Chains A and B, each alone.
Chain A
């Protein structure tokens, strides 16, 4: 039975145990059954307490069923769906006997809201405990009474924060905010529950959960209930949400509007407002896109190669890292923070020092922002040791090479490594564009060689491109994918072609931005065009971040094997020759001093006295983005990946392509392939710009009237 009532003496236990599933979901079916059980309890006289528990390990209730929400296409259906849940949870809240939720794992979304409807909440010390409402991440608000109950239980400011950030909290924090009433050990849980029930019946803890807030003293007491402070909370939340989302995401804003009304309303009215907002948000395209992105990321986080059943990943406890620059230092930091011992090698102490200082800086920042305890940071940092020779590489389970992007050097590193590592050590290269196969040929065992391409800054960017050559063994791929997962990264598996996915798609776009710059001379506007579209930064800002020298090098590599469309444009070469590389030289397309950034006037001079054309926002935007779509289609055509999802994951997690657009190719589908091909052909014919020539893959999609994701 997926949900059942068990009675022990005068205590009723509602036990959630969804059939054929590792987790419990609050599906409509579950809700209906719960409703029936609650009706039954309402008529019984023999019960004096109701306890809600889960029989799943590490899970209370993981949320509502996203599939059901995804299927909603009319706002009124959404509202009805929300009301359906509200009604059942209200019934739970209105029971005459005290109710208690026992949380021994994740209680998310609907699961959290169910717990909130109970009079009391008890959580265990299980580190898996996470409680909260992550709904806004999917583009809608909590719809089962969460927006009404949560701010009332934990306080307005804290409740808003939890809902708007959509970040569930661990047990300790939940206790601190009053979200749960006590934490108890997992061992002997039933005894703790009985003891807690006894306490309830002795009247030790007031039944009205809204009046149990921790007593405030002094100034805090005066301010907590002041309307002015509440007003400020709403306006500050709005401000910080706008700053964070640039207004692209309606869910948090609408949720603030909602709470600013419902916080002062009676339950019926508050619930009604919540349901209405839910209906409106759940049907938005943005929400649908975010749900798709969620599915994609869930899928790729668990990525395994085909026909790899039964192949176990090798255990990775110790890594060698070659090349200790910013990238090597970042990799060393990431590995060490995940419990991996790191031997960091470079050719001189200065370089090793750079790597250590990069890692130390990240740890320092994490401690400062309280993301990490000082002891954990100290222990993690101690896992990195520097070296100038290969001592300590002999027992490494994995070596990551992150030396300069020069094939001759990479090859000699691979050759050297083959002489030092033990049999079975996986050798990975962090190259962003060079041929992994060519390096693998230098290795003693090419089947152990794989590409493992991180993005800068390593500790923040969630993507890793895992590159398999024709020689790479299945076991090596399985190991690499599992290792990416252990590092908390989302991998995509790509074929060994130049630029893999992300750089190939992105560099063509940056090059096109250069062409447009030469045409119109309006750098800042071009950048704004892209940030207005939702990208975290425009092409010139991005180039400054990465360094133009790196960009040009990759473009040249790409041009060599993929064609002239990647040959760096003239203006880039001029800027490069002037040494305006970007942030690292303090001068690039912009100038940097301290926190200030200004457009670099030298750029204008370098463009010369061109006869600039007027700024054509509409067509420029299309040129920039359609070019990416065309290149992505080429990647599919060349079989670099076999699933458009991999490209969308790559662009979202590797470049910050806006998730609310659903990903590059999902967005392309929404525009319509035929429209895109038309425009591409128009761009091609207009001035014979070969780079726009739609590729065969795109043309066949158009002819078949299909999208990247099918019909």
Chain B
């Protein structure tokens, strides 16, 4: 089977919601990384068969955002573009789509990635007010207009009741009614993972990310954001220098006031960012004389119950290993996205459980994960989690880590809102 190579990739720094990238839409972040990959690899844009980007927030001013990114980054008008949406796995899915298309001989060169501006996910009118507004816009006579205005405005000025926040709606599962934080609490209770364990995990994530600040710059293109265009943002602003366990312990539970353990401190940060990868068939890369960063060997997508969405990796990992005919202990580095500290911990616990392996027929493909090879440069708790982008970051971060440390094989995985899990095995 044709091998799929990742030629190169880049990402923006991740900026906490409403900070450095306040004035950059997802399409702007996306076109910056897409262009940067084009520039750095020197690829002739005419070689690109399709542009595929993952995005969750789907800004209404950039419908089919991949197409917008494609055009704004200088890919020819006649090259098609596809936006993929698999919630948190959207970025990974862009790479999966490319590899599938290459294997189907539909093309041999794809510019993929993820772009997300959580900051700019829209705030909408609630439905009754939308109706009033439409009625107002249809009013013909002055009298009618005045009457409709009198109906609309008094309600509208009650901001709290008139608006709904797209971002929070997006982070809520409509089938089980739980917010993502709620699903994390489900796991905390199911696995009996304590607040202290979670905070300890979070602290470690910050410490690892701070230590890796300089090396992570290898995968980051500095962004000079509008409206001032004054300073270059060249590092993630999530990791906190001098984070203490005491400070984490002080935070109140965010999703279950009374008996909860999940706080803003041990959950991933809501942030903005984009990443892009240039993916080709190995033959194509060779013919262009390019030296790839690595190989995308296998992928797997799993699905779980929506209210236990954080368990996704516990299923996706054995599935991908089985598909690749490999063992967990052969992995030289592993990344599991830290949507919530408790969710990552629950996955580790589950993977180590023989009962679990037996129940789902994963025997031989699970096991304990060595903390020394797990999320070595920190994870989303510290770095941030721009949902549509994280999958792309995981692949990029892993490949750069493998390159730096001369490793041959690595695995990345993440949980997916709605109850899924994705995993990819990368090779060098």
Interface, chain A (partner B; CB < 8 A):
341, 343, 349-350, 352-354, 356-357, 360, 378-379, 382-383, 385-387, 391-392, 394-395
CB pair B31 A353 closer than 8 Å: no
Question: Whole-angstrom distance between the alpha carbons of A378 and B31 in the complex?
Answer: 11
Question: Whole-angstrom distance between the alpha carbons of A391 and B39 in the complex?
Answer: 6
CB pair A349 B232 closer than 8 Å: yes
CB pair A385 B39 closer than 8 Å: yes
**Closest Cβ–Cβ distance, residue B61 to chain A (whole Å):** 10
Known contacts A379-B71, A382-B72, A385-B32: does B231 contact A353 (CB below 8 Å)? yes
**Closest Cβ–Cβ distance, residue A356 to chain B (whole Å):** 5
Residues of chain B in range 19-59 having any CB-CB distance to chain A below 8 Å: 28, 31-32, 35-36, 39-40, 42, 44
CB pair B39 A360 closer than 8 Å: no
Known contacts A378-B72, A382-B31: does B42 contact A352 (CB below 8 Å)? no
CB pair A360 B226 closer than 8 Å: yes
Which residues of B lie under 8 Å from residue A356 when comparing CB positions?
Answer: 224, 229
Known contacts A379-B72, A392-B39: does B224 contact A349 (CB below 8 Å)? yes
10 extra A-B contacts, CB within 8 A, seeds A356-B224, A356-B229, A392-B42: A349-B224, A349-B231, A349-B232, A353-B224, A354-B229, A379-B71, A379-B72, A385-B32, A385-B39, A387-B39
Which residues of A lie under 8 Å from residue B229 when comparing CB positions?
Answer: 353-354, 356-357, 360
CB pair A382 B228 closer than 8 Å: no
User: In this assembly, does B107 line the interface, its C-beta being within 8 Å of a C-beta of chain A?
Assistant: no
Binary contact track B214-236/A, C-beta < 8 Å → 1, others 0: 00000000101011111110100
Tell me if B's interface is mostly helix, strand, loop or mixed: loop
Question: Whole-angstrom distance between the alpha carbons of A357 and B225 in the complex?
Answer: 10
Question: Whole-angstrom distance between the alpha carbons of A391 and B42 in the complex?
Answer: 8
Size range of the chain B interface in the assembly: 20 to 34
Which residues of B lie under 8 Å from residue A350 when comparing CB positions?
Answer: 231-232
User: In this assembly, does B73 line the interface, its C-beta being within 8 Å of a C-beta of chain A?
Assistant: yes
Question: Whole-angstrom distance between the alpha carbons of A360 and B23 in the complex?
Answer: 13
Question: Whole-angstrom distance between the alpha carbons of A410 and B226 in the complex?
Answer: 31
User: In this assembly, does B74 line the interface, its C-beta being within 8 Å of a C-beta of chain A?
Assistant: yes
| Nearest neighbor of B71 in chain A, beta-carbon distance | A379
Question: Whole-angstrom distance between the alpha carbons of A676 and B306 in the complex?
Answer: 92
Which residues of B lie under 8 Å from residue A357 when comparing CB positions?
Answer: 228-230
Contact with A349, one of B32, B227, B234 (Cβ below 8 angstroms): B234
CB pair A394 B73 closer than 8 Å: no
Which residues of B lie under 8 Å from residue A354 when comparing CB positions?
Answer: 229
Closest 9 CB pairs of A and B: A392-B39, A349-B232, A357-B229, A382-B72, A356-B229, A353-B224, A391-B40, A394-B42, A385-B35
**Closest Cβ–Cβ distance, residue B333 to chain A (whole Å):** 27
**Closest Cβ–Cβ distance, residue B143 to chain A (whole Å):** 18
User: Can you give 17 A-B contacts (C-beta < 8 A)?
Assistant: A349-B232, A352-B224, A353-B229, A353-B230, A353-B231, A353-B232, A354-B229, A356-B229, A357-B229, A379-B72, A382-B28, A382-B35, A382-B72, A385-B36, A385-B39, A391-B40, A395-B44
* Candidate in B71, B227, B230 with the most chain A CB atoms within 10 angstroms: B230
Known contacts A349-B234, A391-B39: does B224 contact A382 (CB below 8 Å)? no
Question: Whole-angstrom distance between the alpha carbons of A447 and B242 in the complex?
Answer: 58
Which residues of B lie under 8 Å from residue A387 when comparing CB positions?
Answer: 39
Which residues of B lie under 8 Å from residue A360 when comparing CB positions?
Answer: 226-227, 229
Which residues of B lie under 8 Å from residue A379 when comparing CB positions?
Answer: 71-72
Interface, chain B (partner A; CB < 8 A):
28, 31-32, 35-36, 39-40, 42, 44, 71-74, 222, 224, 226-232, 234
Question: Whole-angstrom distance between the alpha carbons of A215 and B44 in the complex?
Answer: 55
Question: Whole-angstrom distance between the alpha carbons of A437 and B226 in the complex?
Answer: 40
CB pair B39 A386 closer than 8 Å: no
Which residues of B lie under 8 Å from residue A378 when comparing CB positions?
Answer: 72
Which residues of B lie under 8 Å from residue A395 when comparing CB positions?
Answer: 42, 44
**Closest Cβ–Cβ distance, residue B75 to chain A (whole Å):** 11
**Closest Cβ–Cβ distance, residue A251 to chain B (whole Å):** 43
CB pair A341 B40 closer than 8 Å: no
Which residues of A lie under 8 Å from residue B32 when comparing CB positions?
Answer: 385
**Closest Cβ–Cβ distance, residue B330 to chain A (whole Å):** 35
| Nearest neighbor of B228 in chain A, beta-carbon distance | A357
| Nearest neighbor of A361 in chain B, beta-carbon distance | B229
Which residues of A lie under 8 Å from residue B234 when comparing CB positions?
Answer: 349
Question: Whole-angstrom distance between the alpha carbons of A387 and B36 in the complex?
Answer: 9
Question: Whole-angstrom distance between the alpha carbons of A354 and B224 in the complex?
Answer: 10
Which residues of B lie under 8 Å from residue A394 when comparing CB positions?
Answer: 42
**Closest Cβ–Cβ distance, residue A267 to chain B (whole Å):** 44
**Closest Cβ–Cβ distance, residue B274 to chain A (whole Å):** 13
Question: Whole-angstrom distance between the alpha carbons of A215 and B234 in the complex?
Answer: 58
Question: Whole-angstrom distance between the alpha carbons of A382 and B27 in the complex?
Answer: 11
Question: Whole-angstrom distance between the alpha carbons of A240 and B200 in the complex?
Answer: 72
Question: Whole-angstrom distance between the alpha carbons of A349 and B35 in the complex?
Answer: 18
**Closest Cβ–Cβ distance, residue B25 to chain A (whole Å):** 10
Which residues of B lie under 8 Å from residue A352 when comparing CB positions?
Answer: 224, 232
Question: Whole-angstrom distance between the alpha carbons of A7 and B21 in the complex?
Answer: 67
Question: Whole-angstrom distance between the alpha carbons of A379 and B35 in the complex?
Answer: 13
| Nearest neighbor of B224 in chain A, beta-carbon distance | A353
Question: Whole-angstrom distance between the alpha carbons of A382 and B70 in the complex?
Answer: 11
Question: Whole-angstrom distance between the alpha carbons of A382 and B39 in the complex?
Answer: 13
Contact with A341, one of B42, B44, B74, B226 (Cβ below 8 angstroms): B74
**Closest Cβ–Cβ distance, residue B334 to chain A (whole Å):** 31
Which residues of A lie under 8 Å from residue B224 when comparing CB positions?
Answer: 349, 352-353, 356, 386
**Closest Cβ–Cβ distance, residue A319 to chain B (whole Å):** 12
Question: Whole-angstrom distance between the alpha carbons of A285 and B120 in the complex?
Answer: 61
Which residues of A lie under 8 Å from residue B226 when comparing CB positions?
Answer: 360
Known contacts A382-B72, A383-B74: does B40 contact A392 (CB below 8 Å)? yes
Question: Whole-angstrom distance between the alpha carbons of A352 and B39 in the complex?
Answer: 16
Question: Whole-angstrom distance between the alpha carbons of A394 and B41 in the complex?
Answer: 10
Question: Whole-angstrom distance between the alpha carbons of A394 and B40 in the complex?
Answer: 9
| Nearest neighbor of B222 in chain A, beta-carbon distance | A349
Question: Whole-angstrom distance between the alpha carbons of A355 and B230 in the complex?
Answer: 10
Question: Whole-angstrom distance between the alpha carbons of A391 and B31 in the complex?
Answer: 17
| Nearest neighbor of B72 in chain A, beta-carbon distance | A382
Question: Whole-angstrom distance between the alpha carbons of A360 and B231 in the complex?
Answer: 14
**Closest Cβ–Cβ distance, residue B65 to chain A (whole Å):** 14
| Nearest neighbor of B69 in chain A, beta-carbon distance | A382
Which residues of A lie under 8 Å from residue B231 when comparing CB positions?
Answer: 349-350, 353
Question: Whole-angstrom distance between the alpha carbons of A394 and B31 in the complex?
Answer: 21
| Nearest neighbor of A384 in chain B, beta-carbon distance | B35
Question: Whole-angstrom distance between the alpha carbons of A14 and B35 in the complex?
Answer: 54
Question: Whole-angstrom distance between the alpha carbons of A623 and B99 in the complex?
Answer: 75
**Closest Cβ–Cβ distance, residue A119 to chain B (whole Å):** 36
**Closest Cβ–Cβ distance, residue A379 to chain B (whole Å):** 6
Question: Whole-angstrom distance between the alpha carbons of A357 and B224 in the complex?
Answer: 9
| Nearest neighbor of A378 in chain B, beta-carbon distance | B72
Question: Whole-angstrom distance between the alpha carbons of A353 and B234 in the complex?
Answer: 13
Question: Whole-angstrom distance between the alpha carbons of A387 and B10 in the complex?
Answer: 14
Which residues of A lie under 8 Å from residue B72 when comparing CB positions?
Answer: 378-379, 382
Which residues of A lie under 8 Å from residue B35 when comparing CB positions?
Answer: 382, 385
Which residues of A lie under 8 Å from residue B44 when comparing CB positions?
Answer: 395
Question: Whole-angstrom distance between the alpha carbons of A177 and B42 in the complex?
Answer: 49
Which residues of A lie under 8 Å from residue B73 when comparing CB positions?
Answer: 382
| Nearest neighbor of B231 in chain A, beta-carbon distance | A353
Which residues of B lie under 8 Å from residue A391 when comparing CB positions?
Answer: 39-40, 42
Question: Whole-angstrom distance between the alpha carbons of A356 and B42 in the complex?
Answer: 22
| Nearest neighbor of A352 in chain B, beta-carbon distance | B224
| Nearest neighbor of A391 in chain B, beta-carbon distance | B40
Question: Whole-angstrom distance between the alpha carbons of A392 and B229 in the complex?
Answer: 21
Question: Whole-angstrom distance between the alpha carbons of A383 and B45 in the complex?
Answer: 14
Question: Whole-angstrom distance between the alpha carbons of A356 and B36 in the complex?
Answer: 16
Which residues of A lie under 8 Å from residue B227 when comparing CB positions?
Answer: 360
| Nearest neighbor of A385 in chain B, beta-carbon distance | B35
**Closest Cβ–Cβ distance, residue B307 to chain A (whole Å):** 41
**Closest Cβ–Cβ distance, residue A548 to chain B (whole Å):** 27
| Nearest neighbor of A388 in chain B, beta-carbon distance | B222
Question: Whole-angstrom distance between the alpha carbons of A667 and B345 in the complex?
Answer: 85
| Nearest neighbor of A383 in chain B, beta-carbon distance | B74
**Closest Cβ–Cβ distance, residue A446 to chain B (whole Å):** 25
| Nearest neighbor of A329 in chain B, beta-carbon distance | B229
Question: Whole-angstrom distance between the alpha carbons of A274 and B320 in the complex?
Answer: 86
